[in-house]
């Protein structure tokens, strides 16, 4: 077995055991610690600091959670979701996540995804909620409204 193969095998064992990440080696070579791959501290320091990196705190949903205006604007601009619909989703979202007490890193993003899901779900249900009988659905010709056909007799005499 060559040195290179031994090194790869050692890295695989360390990666599988969770002791060390290849990304840590890469970061150490560059003299920096990558915020995503940084290990959480253990023991008393973990209780004091529940952060993986600055801005990535793992915490239960704060009781005073409100979506940032940036997310509301994003939903309106990129998904066509009105701001009042977005804000109407807040009570249900908070009720669920406050009850579970589950800790997350990105509550703003979690809320954004919840709103998108609810919007698409509502749009889908709206399309299915027609109050027409099967006969009315099958004989509906409203799709042809506005179509005009020109049946000129000159075309038939060629």
Segment 88-104, tens digit of pLDDT:
999 999 999 999 999 99
Residue 103 inside a domain? The answer is yes
Helix (H, G, I), strand (E, B) or coil at 59: strand
Closest C-alpha to 105, from 44, 23, 2, 36 = 36
pLDDT band at 41 (very low <50, low <70, confident <90, very high): very low
* Residues 95 and 76 reside in one and the same domain: yes
Domain count, the chain: 2
Residue 146 inside a domain? The answer is no
Q: What is the CA radius of gyration of the chain?
A: 29
The domain containing residue 34 runs over which residues? 1-39
Maximal CA-CA distance, the chain: 94
* Residues 92 and 55 reside in one and the same domain: yes
DSSP assignment letter at 51: B
Helix (H, G, I), strand (E, B) or coil at 45: helix
**Between the ranges 92-96, 119-123, 153-157, where is the mean pLDDT highest?**
92-96
* Residues 58 and 97 reside in one and the same domain: yes
What is the C-alpha to C-alpha distance for residues 136 and 151, in angstroms, rounded to an integer? 29
What is the C-alpha to C-alpha distance for residues 131 and 124, in angstroms, rounded to an integer? 15
* Residues 98 and 122 reside in one and the same domain: yes
- Calculate the dihedral angle through the C-alpha atoms of 27, 30, 32, 36, rounding to the nearest 10 degrees: -30
pLDDT tens across 49-65, in order? 444 445 568 999 999 99
Closest C-alpha to 64, from 107, 104, 106, 102 = 107
């Amino acid at each position: 077995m060559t040195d290179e193969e031994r090194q790869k095998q050692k890295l695989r064992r360390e990666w599988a055991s969770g002791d060390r990440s290849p990304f840590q080696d890469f970061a150490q070579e560059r003299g920096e610690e990558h915020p995503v791959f940084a290990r959480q501290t253990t023991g008393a320091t973990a209780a004091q600091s529940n952060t993986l990196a600055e801005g990535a705190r793992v915490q239960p949903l704060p009781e005073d959670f409100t979506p940032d205006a940036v997310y509301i604007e994003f939903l309106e601009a990129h998904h066509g979701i009105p701001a009042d619909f977005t804000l109407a989703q807040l009570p249900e979202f908070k009720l669920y996540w406050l009850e579970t007490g589950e800790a997350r890193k990105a509550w703003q993003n979690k809320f954004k995804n919840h709103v998108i899901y609810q919007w698409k779900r509502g749009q889908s249900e709206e399309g299915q909620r027609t109050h027409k009988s099967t006969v009315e659905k099958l004989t509906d010709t409203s799709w042809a409204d506005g179509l005009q056909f020109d049946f000129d007799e000159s075309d038939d005499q060629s």
